[in-house]
């Protein structure tokens, strides 16, 4: 008897699930909540400090910001989360700001940095160029010679980047015709 009850309940759930995969034919409460602060599970053996830039290294878990291939910028830590005593991924969570402007260290910050994209070097440092070019966002202010203010809205969760290479090669002949060659190389990090 109990097994038949479980089977019927599973069939009802399956039917309900099936219906949710169809286009809407009535209003739906999508359970909206503000996305300014979002919680993520922390990678095992990791410590994330308050104010740190946080990335996903392709594991689905939050780690302190690093310039590593495939990393995706998740946001800035609202508070410290210490999962260092556990090798278990997700044993702790960290809340992250997904929007706003934040001051980070930058070697030789200059006024000309404003509007330039800033890339993650480590969990508290940005640069105009790094090995893996993990976007933190554009510089919006230079409050000190060693710091910039970055708007993270554009950098957070930007998992696709593209580099555009433009080369000019004028040919010298009786009829001068410069040629322009462009190539786009998309680079997609796992999400």
What is the mean pLDDT of the segment spanning 171-183? 47
Q: Is residue 191 part of a domain?
A: no
Return the residue matching tokens 């309940």. Answer: 9
Could you tell me the sign of the dihedral formed by the alpha carbons of 104, 109, 115, 116, in that order?
negative
Contact by Cβ (8 Å): 149, 141: yes
Per-residue model confidence as pLDDT tens digits over 73-122: 999 999 999 999 999 999 999 999 999 999 999 999 999 999 999 999 99
Phi, psi (rounded to 5 degrees) for 167: -125, 140
Mean pLDDT of the chain: 82
The domain of 142 spans 37-154
Asked whether residue 1 is assigned to any structural domain, the reply reads no
Is the pTM for the entire model greater than 0.85?
no
Q: What is the predicted pLDDT for the residue at 158?
A: 67
Is 20 among the domain residues?
no
Indicate whether 167 belongs to any domain. Answer: no
Using CA atoms, how far residue 68 sits from 134, 135, 160, 167, in Å, is 8, 12, 15, 28
Asked if residue 48 lies in contact with residue 54, where contact means CB atoms within 8 angstroms, the answer is yes
Question: For the chain, what is the domain count?
Answer: 1
The enclosing domain of 48 has a CATH number of 2.40.300
Q: Is residue 166 part of a domain?
A: no
Confirm whether 2 is domain-assigned. no
Whether residue 52 lies inside any domain: the answer is: yes
The pLDDT value recorded for residue 140 is 97
Give the per-residue pLDDT at 2: 53
The reply to whether 30 falls in a domain is no
């Amino acid at each position: 008897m109990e097994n038949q009850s479980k089977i019927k309940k599973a069939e009802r759930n399956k039917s309900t699930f099936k219906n949710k995969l169809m286009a809407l034919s009535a209003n739906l409460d999508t359970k909206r909540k503000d996305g300014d602060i979002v919680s993520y599970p922390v990678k095992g053996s990791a410590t994330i400090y308050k104010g740190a830039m946080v990335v996903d290294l392709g594991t689905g878990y939050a780690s302190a910001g690093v310039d590593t291939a495939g990393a995706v910028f998740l946001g800035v830590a609202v508070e410290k989360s210490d999962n260092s005593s556990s090798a278990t991924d997700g044993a702790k969570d960290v809340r992250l700001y997904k929007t706003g402007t934040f001051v980070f260290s930058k070697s030789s910050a200059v006024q000309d940095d404003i509007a330039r994209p800033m890339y993650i070097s480590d969990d508290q440092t940005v640069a105009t160029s790094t090995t893996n070019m993990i976007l933190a966002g554009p510089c919006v202010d230079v409050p000190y010679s060693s710091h910039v203010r970055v708007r993270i809205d554009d950098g957070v969760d930007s998992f696709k980047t593209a580099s555009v290479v433009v080369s000019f090669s004028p040919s010298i002949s009786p009829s001068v015709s410069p040629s322009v060659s462009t190539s786009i190389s998309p680079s997609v990090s796992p999400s």
